[in-house]
Structure 1
Amino acid sequence: MKLTYGITDKLFVWFFIIVLIFFGTILVFYIDLQHIVKISANIVNKNNEISAASKKMIENLLSMEENEKKYRLLGKDDYLNYFDTARKDFEGQLKKIVQMEARGMAISDNWKNLYESYLNISPRLRDLKKAQPSKIPWIPVNVINEWIEKIYIARAENEYEVYLATTELNRRGQTSARNGLIGIGVSSMVGLLGIIFLAYTTLRPLRELLKGIRSISQDRFSEPIRIRSKDEFGELAGAFNEMSVRLKEEEQMRSDFVSMLSHEIRTPLTSIGESVNMIAEEVMGPVNDRQRKFLEIASSEIGRIGNLLNHLMQVSRLASSAIKIRPLSIGTSAFVSECIHGMAPAAEAKRIKIEAEIPPGIPNMMADPEHLKQVFINLLGNAVKFSPTKSKVKVLIEEDEAGTDLMFSISDKGPGIQEEEQSLIFNKYYQARRIRGHMDGVGLGLYISKHIVEAHGGTLWVESKIGQGSTFGFSLPTAGK
């Protein structure tokens, strides 16, 4: 069975690795710190104590030698007491050093030899005050000098131990600092790599999903999302792909139904239209004014239904990519003027003035006149339909700086389009919320116009502000391109 890791599992593994490195660094740092504490304690409890005790021992030996000489010279008991006090202090300091071994501390053999030498002499030194002045068992000078020499040697060894210990402390400190920096560096690197990995495995599927969602919101179709991960994003991508396939199937079914319905309705509608025309032409007898008025209304509605069927048929052809463009070199000024003239009755009915700004010497354009006329009629018709009475519609034609494209724009003073809807109005069957329910249309004009312009190699766009009107523009190649 193949293991799969979800987003939570990946986050947990990443967090576990960082925590493991962190506590590993802390553990190594703790071990180094324990060594440092041990070395420091050894210096404080042993080396410093030996250094202080050995210094006193030398002072005591020198004091013993000096008081012996003074006693021999002056014979005062005070010097004998001073001698005995120094001896006892010497013995106490020496025992303190020797007893360190019993506490698990290693000491120099010189201290052991010195202690054995002292033990050999110490019994006869305990009764100095009871002995006769001429028979006091003084410590020989050569023995004192030998002891002092051993103490100096032991002190030197102790100082060397301190030197080695401080060197080891320095090394341990540098090692701890280096290990800490390494731990921080590794943790930072793992954290950065983890963030990059998680960002890649998270943002890439999100971008693919967002791309698919935008594609559906704009074109109602989306290519299958390729997400190979086995986590929640993979499941979401699979569900999205299934939804996309269902949408395509339903869209195809609707397109087929609309195409079939249009064909089925067109024949009887044509018969009805011909019948109405024959009655209006009094083929079947005289028609009074009231009857003629209703016949004109019926003929107008039949024409409107016919136009709607034509739009539905064209949408069906667009869905199957059956639109064919036969570009010709067209006189730009004459073509635009003809389209404006065709919209004049609708504009005059609302007392709207259509103004055209066509620069002199504007080059011809490459376009299919039949399809392009439909684009102009759709855009001009929308501008007139949504403009208030006694307003203006402006048509502007410009040539781009490179001289390869013509830029067309049609501006009105209508209610405007909300910004969040501007990317949706080119979708099939979409109508802006502000006009739903009180404006004619089924939301196909801009959809058809967009596909026609794109089939010519141009683009269709909109600029609009609420309460200030809208401007629809598109580009077409010039005849010399």
Structure 2
Amino acid sequence: MKAKDERIHQSENSRSPARKRSSEGSMQTRFGIIKKLFFWYAVLIAAFYGTISVYYLSIQKILTLSDDIVNKNYRISSSAKAMIDSLISMEENEKRYSILKNPEYRGYFESSRQEFEDHLAEILRLLMGTKEVVPWEELFRSYAAQRQQMSLTFSAGEIPEDLWIPERMIDGWIQRISTVLATNEREVELAMRDLHEKGNLARRWGMVGVAVSLLCGVLGMMFLAGSMSRPLRELRRGIRNLARDGSSEPIRILSEDEFGELAFAFNEMLNRLKEEERMRADFISMLSHEIRNPLTTIRESVNLIEQGTMGTVNDKQRRFLGIARQEAERISGLLKNLLQLSKLEAGHPAVNPRELRPAGLVERCVQRFAPAAEAKSIGIRMDIQPDLPTLIGDPELLEQVLLNLIANAVKFSPPGSEVVVAVNCGSGREQVVFAVTDNGPGIPKSEQSFVFQKYYRASSFQHKIDGTGLGLHIAKHIVESHGGTVWLESREGSGSTFGFTLPLSTKECRDEKIEQT
């Protein structure tokens, strides 16, 4: 015993550095959640401000064109038309003055001439430094030459026959202004078309920007949701398996961010739990073997003394010897369960499969437990479906499972109640379903997921009813080693139904389907 304790202590010391190294190890995050969110926001901001920039530049171009149309082309057009009106007025007043010799018409002529000069000066100012100013400069030079001649004529006190400006010259200026005016109007038309095109272009780029922003937003949300939900789903699966079965397989590390680090830490914790569980199982196995031999000696000694081999035994001594024998048998049963559990958890169940009848299995278990049920005034009723197919399994192990379920049902049922043991074919006649229903207090929904875990006992009965919490856990391992599943249906205050489902053999399934067809 001491030597084995030393070996276990050495084994723990040899594993502790590995655990220490494992705990010190950590996963390096490359592209964390903060970086992902920052990148997503950066893309959204870039798309948003890119769209705003395109809109701004387009609006600037539209405003420039509008400004040219309003402040240049429109004013040139208005001034040119006013110049034509002034020239026409000058020509009319010249003719009236030449006929009527009325000085008033000369005043009108001077007024129109002044307006002509003002409008021409405004056009020259608007077009200063552009190529469009050339025809207006030519007009200005022609007018300036004629204006100089008019000044010389009036300074000499002469009144010309044609009165200041010849009619042909005025007509020529009108023709020239009309030509330039037509050119200006074409420029206005082209500018309006360009304005329309730029408006459409701005609208298209705006729609593209909005579409890109929406696409980036949706894709970013999908990416972030996927990068968060997949690791969380994997972690949730591992935690649920651990909570339901007390064990779990390592989960996949799907990302290299904080969720990946969390999954890595979960796997580290799982590995440590498995290592500690294996050490505990080894210790229990060793302890069970070491206690089993002296316990057998104690049991045999008690039996010999009780039988009178060592001398006469009075009633009081016999009663105490009976108590000692019962306690020794209880400890022996506990050690047997621990050894069996150790083998089952190690993945080496001693299963000896052979054909068995489900109905016969139920009948044997009910007969074996009938006296204990009668002692509590509890009836056991069998509900067996006729013509059940045979199963392939270990009769002793399956009998242990069913006896455990019946024992629990009788243990927790009140006196005068009834326990129902049922067996029938499942859907499709490809499995056999065993179920044991009691009228006990039921199991709270919050505790049902822990019922088949090792050492679990209902919180409301931990100090009222004896038990180790190993029976259902062992039953679960036995059923799963046969390819079946265990299940529970319970409602607090309305009793419970514990059951397990076993698959039929391949041959039986095929024969059943042939019979149905």
Q: Which residue of 2 aligns with 1:114?
A: 139
Matches within 5 A, 1:69-468: 69-102=95-128, 107-123=132-148, 137-227=163-253, 229-468=255-494
* CA spacing shift, 1:59–1:358, aligned 2, 3 Å: same
Q: 411-420 vs 37-46, which deviates more?
A: 411-420
Give the deviation of 1:361 after TM superposition. 2.3
Higher relative helix content:
2
Which amino acid counterpart does residue 445 of structure 1 have in structure 2?
G
Secondary structure class of the residue paired with 2:429: coil
TM-score normalised by length of structure 1:
0.92
The answer on whether the counterparts of 1:18 and 1:191 sit within 8 Å (CA) in structure 2 is yes
Give the deviation of 1:450 after TM superposition. 1.0
Q: 142-151 vs 229-238, which deviates more?
A: 229-238
Q: Which residue of 1 aligns with 2:40?
A: 14
The answer on whether the counterparts of 1:110 and 1:153 sit within 8 Å (CA) in structure 2 is no
Give the deviation of 1:136 after TM superposition. 7.2
Which amino acid counterpart does residue 138 of structure 2 have in structure 1?
N
Give the deviation of 1:106 after TM superposition. 5.6
The answer on whether the counterparts of 1:7 and 1:231 sit within 8 Å (CA) in structure 2 is yes
Give the deviation of 1:467 after TM superposition. 1.5
Give the deviation of 1:320 after TM superposition. 1.2
Secondary structure class of the residue paired with 1:38: helix
What is the RMSD of the two structures over their aligned residues, measured on CA atoms?
A: 2.5
Q: Distance in 1 between matches of 2:174 and 2:345?
A: 112
Which amino acid counterpart does residue 328 of structure 1 have in structure 2?
R
Which amino acid counterpart does residue 118 of structure 1 have in structure 2?
Y
The answer on whether the counterparts of 1:80 and 1:129 sit within 8 Å (CA) in structure 2 is no
Secondary structure class of the residue paired with 1:394: strand
Structure 2's unaligned 5+ residue stretches are 1-27, 510-517
Give the deviation of 1:64 after TM superposition. 1.8
Give the deviation of 1:86 after TM superposition. 1.8
Q: Deviations over 1:102-139 (max 9, x none)?
A: 4x666342222212222222345579999666667332
Which amino acid counterpart does residue 394 of structure 1 have in structure 2?
V
Secondary structure class of the residue paired with 1:224: coil
* CA spacing shift, 1:81–1:467, aligned 2, 3 Å: same
Structure 1's unaligned 5+ residue stretches are none
The answer on whether the counterparts of 1:222 and 1:244 sit within 8 Å (CA) in structure 2 is yes
The answer on whether the counterparts of 1:128 and 1:137 sit within 8 Å (CA) in structure 2 is no
The answer on whether the counterparts of 2:32 and 2:257 sit within 8 Å (CA) in structure 1 is yes
Q: Distance in 2 between matches of 1:79 and 1:382?
A: 132
* CA spacing shift, 1:399–1:76, aligned 2, 3 Å: same
Q: Deviations over 1:346-396 (max 9, x none)?
A: 222322222221122233322211000011011111111122222222222
Q: Distance in 2 between matches of 1:180 and 1:59?
A: 46
Give the deviation of 1:243 after TM superposition. 1.8
The answer on whether the counterparts of 1:367 and 1:476 sit within 8 Å (CA) in structure 2 is no
The answer on whether the counterparts of 1:98 and 1:107 sit within 8 Å (CA) in structure 2 is no
Amino-acid identity (%): 47
Give the deviation of 1:259 after TM superposition. 0.7
Give the deviation of 1:80 after TM superposition. 2.5
Q: Deviations over 1:317-337 (max 9, x none)?
A: 012111032222222222201
Q: Distance in 2 between matches of 1:12 and 1:153?
A: 62
Give the deviation of 1:38 after TM superposition. 0.8
Secondary structure class of the residue paired with 1:370: helix
Q: Distance in 1 between matches of 2:169 and 2:178?
A: 14
TM-score normalised by length of structure 2:
0.86
Q: 323-332 vs 229-238, which deviates more?
A: 229-238
